[in-house]
Structure 1
Amino acid sequence: MPARPNVALSVLDLSPVAAGSSGAVSLHNSLDLARLADRLGYTRYWVAEHHNLPAIASSAPDIMIGQIAATTEHIRVGSGGVMLPNHAPLMVAERFKVLEALFPGRIDLGLGRAPGTDPVTSYALRRRQDAGEDDFLERFQELLLFESNAFPEGHPFRSVRAMPQDVALPPIWLLGSSGYSAQLASVVGAGFSFAHHFADHDAVGAMLNYRDGFKPSPTRSTPYAILACAAVCADSEAEAERLTSTIDLNFVRRSRGEYAPLASPEEAAAYPYSPAERALIARNRRRVFVGTKATVLERLSPLISATKADEVMITTMIHDHTARRHSYELLAEAFALQP
């Protein structure tokens, strides 16, 4: 086995919905996986926010965070992330203050710039004619002002307090898949999580620029970068490839605008891929780490080293929950996690 990188290991969970199953089952599977991750010694368990996607049940991260924190003991629990364009900053501040009050020192507030859905659903979430505008910076600044009580004289929100007032917001992380997100995280002095699992942008450049440009803030004195990756780990290379066929078919369908629950490996194996679709899969596979624990570690290690990541966060979007659990067990062994 290759030398183990000296990094923390965490989970990013989208609550995948398998064909033939249900969203309710997927959410309960997330609770089960979180308990496993807690026992195995993972550092964090983050849940995503997506809407109107049949393959993803994770639409309300703040609710899931409370449920997961209540059923685990040690692991940090957070949002990966709250899509700030969908929410009033005051609401985000108050919900995460409540979570921090209930589970002090265990909550993370990860924020994303995208709506996590299509334009029509985004409009339904926000009910504003300008729902297509990028107002993330305005909302982010407003969130920080609610935390610091620093709205200027004459501002309509100057007398508004995010409650409970005596509880600080949990640590803020900015999520992104571009150099812009990395730069923003460095300027405001936040933690940064790079979405390698779907990014077209260079992870190395973004993460190094974040570290080089980091400016200390009242909440964070040094940079801290998380590398979020897709990985499928199994006892054999063949089994890992079989499980990953679900990801392949899902990627092809999404490229055509087709959104469906995750297909089984059997359905994926029977699918008649065109040469163009196989080329599309091959390109996407460069972002997915597949194989035995030794293979996955061997492929991941150079990227961890090049990005100078402090932590790796793994997402595994496969059909079978038992196989998904086992993938995280194998990764825990590969990274020598201590319960």
Structure 2
Amino acid sequence: MRLSVLDQAPITTGNTAAGALKKAEELAVLADELGYHRMWMAEHHGTGAFASSAPEVITAHLAAKTNNLRIGTGGVMMMHYSPLKLAEVFKTLSAFSPGRIDFGVGRAPGGDNHSMYALSEGRQPMLNNMYEKLKTALQLINDEVPEDSLYNRTIATPSNIVLPEAWLLGSSGNSAVQAGRMGVGYSFAQFFQGGMTPAILDTYRNNFQPSAFMEKPEINVTYLVTIAETKEEAEFEALPQDIARLSLMKGQIYQTLTPEAAQDYPLTEMDRMMIQENRKIHLVGAAKDVATILQEEQAHYGFDEVMICSIPHSQEKRLNVYRLLAKELM
């Protein structure tokens, strides 16, 4: 199975944002050594829980620290940026690291309303033109003249570079249709709220049209994973992330607790029921058992690649998740 990494540069309790970025670098170096296929950085704004606010900048750094791993964004939140700027940034990245850069984009704000409006300098954000914006960015990256009159009198430099792979993030049939029609990869965020169905992935495949960015349909699916040598240890390490998920469902984002502190967290009976329900999207257990689940998921849905997002409080425990999965699946 092709394995990849999604990282958010989590700032766990008692640690710093600078430390979280350094840990992302450590994870990239390890993933490169283990033979993972790609690593993407997410984009988050207005939170003290994640340090990945500028994934394109982190991409440049990680690409310089690795040799074979594809590096990119999962995704850059395109509502905040001009298609021309997106094209220029990713063409520059690809010029420095040809054949290793991924232009992954999402349609969400990546933050709350305060950060969204601050990023747009107080103007009303344009929320209904995401697919048109992506189409224009792809044309500029490919040195084409865009159809949009605002952008067809300029070029995106540097020109004549090796194209990055292009991916659209999503969790709905609508985004699957658009990813297929544009000839880009489709990345399903199963870790966020679940909801993946064979029909959604088939919709993408059935609408796929080959492009300069991708010759055939490619699907990756991201899972939240906590594994260890034993199921008991994995459950101990997973509880802080379970609590973080509960907080997110209540509209709050907190730094991940230590597993020791999580044991003392006052969970209600309803909280415990919700944690069990969330096990559909948070895979927890011994490495071999979770690897079997991932293999069964791939067989059922037919995706090409699984991306792993893992957020134990300890960096060593987090790195070990990727070591254990590589041992089982690669």
102, 121, 125: which one aligns with 1:131: 125
Structure-2-length-normalised TM-score? 0.95
> Which of 293, 298, 302 pairs up with 2:287?
293
1:231 aligns with 2:225: yes
- For residue 252 of structure 1, report the CA deviation from its aligned partner: 1.4
Corresponding residue number in structure 2 for 1:183: 177
Structure 2 partner of 1:102: 96
Take 1:178 and 1:159, find their aligned partners in 2: how far apart are those partners? 34
1:22-43 deviation per Cα after TM superposition (whole angstroms, max 9, x unaligned): 1110000000011000000100
Does 1:149 pair with 2:137? no
1:156 is displaced (CA, Å) by 4.0
Alignment of 1:247-286 (within 5 A): 247-286=241-280
Give the stretch that moved more between structures: 235-244 or 292-301.
292-301
| Separation in structure 1 between the aligned mates of residue 18 and residue 109 of structure 2, nearest angstrom | 23
Give 1:17-28 correspondences, 5 Å limit: 17-28=11-22
Paired residue for 1:58, among 52, 57, 60?
A: 52
CA distance in 1, matches of 2:227, 2:272: 22
Give the aligned length. 329
The answer for the alignment partner of 1:4 in structure 2 is none
- Aligned to 1:111, the other structure's residue is in SS state strand
Letter of the 1:166 partner, please give it. Answer: N
Describe the shift of the 1:156–1:301 C-alpha distance in structure 2 as closer, same or farther (beyond 3 A). Answer: closer
- For the 8 Å contact 1:208–1:308, the answer to whether it is kept is no
Give the drift of 1:174: 0.6
- Ranges in structure 1 where 5+ consecutive residues have no aligned partner: 1-6
* Rounded Cα–Cα distance in structure 1 between residues aligned with 2:54 and 2:294: 30
Offset, 1:330: 0.1
Unaligned runs of 5+ in 2: none
- What is the Cα deviation at residue 106 of structure 1? 0.6
Secondary structure class of the residue paired with 1:240: helix
Partner amino acid for 2:167?
W
Q: Per-residue deviation at 1:262?
A: 0.7
Identical pairs, percent: 36
* 1:219 aligned residue: 213
The CA deviation at 1:289 is: 1.3
Deviates more, 1:202-211 or 1:321-330: 202-211
Counterpart residue identity of residue 119, structure 2: L
Contact preservation (8 Å) 1:178, 1:199: no
**Aligned counterparts of 2:204 and 2:136: Cα–Cα separation in 1:** 23
- Within 1, Cα distance between the matches of 2:204 and 2:121? 34
Higher-RCO chain (CA-CA 8 Å, sequence separation at least 6): 1
In structure 2, the residue corresponding to 1:198 is in which secondary structure?
helix
Q: Is the 8 Å Cα contact of residues 194 and 203 (structure 1) preserved in structure 2? A: no
**How far apart are the structure 1 equivalents of 2:150 and 2:132?**
15
Counterpart CA distance in 2 for 1:44 and 1:237 is: 27
| 8 A Cα contact 1:100 1:169, kept in partner | yes
TM-score (norm 1): 0.93
1:49 is matched by which residue type in structure 2? Answer: E
